[in-house]
């Protein structure tokens, strides 16, 4: 089961809202983030224990159990933990937002020394009001996840390895252990609405980065850069899965050359150690038309997080995210 949804970016908010925290260097900031991450992950998994114990009362699954050999042999429903493997997933969302935020803190405060850490805290508490120039510097100049930047990618590895090791060694209610997932589905909308402004230039309430992808508009090196960053992560750490979204303009995948491009990207991704990749070939014009006239686009499907979903069934905010992503390809 996917038992816990965890907002990695919320830990950035907690780090930046601690007015008693006075870091001397960037390592202090990173260590403080990891400390809060540990505390909140442990708290979340502990809170999930009593809910898991109620699974059989809330949602018994006899039909599913009838398809599983171990459940039949033991006479136990899957909700009574009759399966051979009794793991519980912890879905961790917003890795791009987190890495961009940490990289922005390092760039703004400790490398370029454009302001103090306390000043950045105050600006974020005011949602970047009266600090638009600095926000644009953070957004446009600070290094970003998904561009094959080894200095930035190391931050991602540090965060996800730390989280995975903690999750994998925590017992669940079933007699097994939790396992980490690095994906988000469309939960980036809700999670973003509950997350304050972050150091990379994101405003309060804005969406988070999706799955393992770059923040929209920040993949300056294109698909090759995103793949390079994602493949630097150890996919064996994420037994609950990880997903990379790639959106391509239709002009790049036409004819035999387009087929070879897709094949080449897939081969390269897995050769580098990638785990899961899917593609959307969409135009902003088509998506806007579908948003305005859903009755004409009943069968327009997109890849969301390892599966297809009808575009017209998504929330307007999620539709707008996909439109923005498609528009970014044409810039």
Assess whether pLDDT exceeds 70 at residue 77: yes
Residue of 283, 294, 269 lying closest to 212 (CA atoms): 269
**Rg of the chain, C-alpha, whole Å:** 21
Average per-residue pLDDT for the chain: 95
For residues 23-49, give the mean pLDDT: 98
Mean pLDDT of 42-71: 96
254 compared with 331, residue with greater pLDDT: 254
| Contact predicate 89/181, CB 8 Å | yes
Residue 305's pLDDT is: 86
What does the pLDDT average to over 75-102? 96
Torsion from C-alpha of 251, 252, 253, 259, nearest 10 degrees: 150
Task: Give 307's pLDDT tier (boundaries 50, 70, 90).
Answer: confident
Reported as a pLDDT band with limits 50, 70 and 90, residue 198 is very high
Q: What is the pLDDT of residue 329?
A: 82
**Both structure tokens of 38:** 């540990």
Overall average pLDDT of the 218-242 stretch: 95
Please determine, for residue 330, whether its predicted confidence score (pLDDT) is greater than 80. Answer: no
For the entire predicted model, the pTM comes to: 0.94
pLDDT, mean of residues 141-163: 98
What pLDDT, on a 0 to 100 scale, did the predictor assign at position 44? Answer: 98
- Looking at the predicted structure, is the pLDDT value of residue 43 above 90? yes
For the record, the structure tokens of 295 come out as 């009755």
pLDDT at site 251: 86
Distance linking the first and last C-alpha atoms of the chain: 40
pLDDT value of position 250: 85
Is the pLDDT at 152 greater than 90? The verdict is: yes
| Structure token pair of residue 111 | 């490398």
Q: How confident is the model at residue 126 (pLDDT cuts 50, 70, 90)?
A: very high
Range 242-254 average pLDDT: 90
The predicted structure's pLDDT at residue 331: 66
Q: What is the mean pLDDT of residues 208-226?
A: 94
The two tokens of residue 288 are: 């806007």
Predicted pLDDT of residue 289: 97
pLDDT band at 2 (very low <50, low <70, confident <90, very high): confident
- Residue 329 parent element (H or E): helix 316-329
State the pLDDT confidence band at 1, using cuts at 50, 70 and 90.
Answer: confident
Asked if residue 235 has pLDDT above 80, the reply is yes
Q: Are 133 and 203 spatial neighbours (Cβ–Cβ below 8 Å)? A: no
């Amino acid at each position: 089961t996917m038992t816990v949804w965890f907002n990695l970016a919320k830990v950035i908010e907690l780090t930046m809202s601690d007015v008693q925290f006075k870091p001397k260097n960037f390592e202090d900031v990173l260590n403080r983030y990891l400390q809060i991450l540990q505390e909140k992950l442990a708290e979340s998994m502990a809170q999930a224990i009593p809910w898991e114990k109620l699974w059989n009362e809330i949602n018994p699954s006899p039909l599913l159990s009838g398809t599983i050999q171990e459940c039949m042999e033991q006479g136990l429903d899957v909700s009574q933990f009759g399966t051979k493997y009794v793991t519980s997933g912890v879905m961790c969302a917003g890795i791009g937002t987190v890495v961009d935020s940490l990289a922005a803190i390092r760039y703004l405060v400790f490398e370029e020394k454009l302001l103090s850490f306390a000043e950045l805290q105050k600006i974020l508490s005011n949602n970047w009001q009266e600090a638009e120039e600095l926000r644009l510097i953070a957004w446009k100049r600070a290094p970003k996840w998904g561009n094959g930047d080894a200095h930035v990618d190391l931050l991602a590895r540090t965060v996800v390895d730390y989280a995975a090791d903690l999750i994998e060694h925590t017992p669940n209610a079933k007699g097994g252990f939790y396992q980490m997932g690095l994906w988000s589905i469309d939960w980036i909308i809700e999670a973003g609405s509950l997350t304050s402004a972050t150091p990379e230039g994101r405003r309060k309430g804005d969406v988070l980065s999706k799955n393992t992808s770059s923040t929209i508009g920040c993949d300056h090196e294109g698909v090759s850069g995103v793949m390079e960053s994602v493949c630097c992560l150890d996919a064996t750490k994420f037994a609950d899965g990880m997903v990379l979204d790639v959106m391509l303009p239709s002009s790049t995948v036409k004819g035999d050359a387009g087929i070879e491009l897709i094949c080449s990207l897939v081969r390269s991704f897995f050769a580098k150690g990638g785990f899961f990749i899917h593609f959307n070939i969409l135009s902003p014009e088509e998506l806007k038309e579908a948003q305005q006239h859903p009755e004409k686009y009943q069968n327009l499907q997109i890849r969301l997080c390892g599966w297809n979903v009808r575009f017209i069934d998504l929330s307007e905010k999620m539709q707008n995210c996909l439109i923005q992503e498609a528009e970014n390809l044409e810039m």
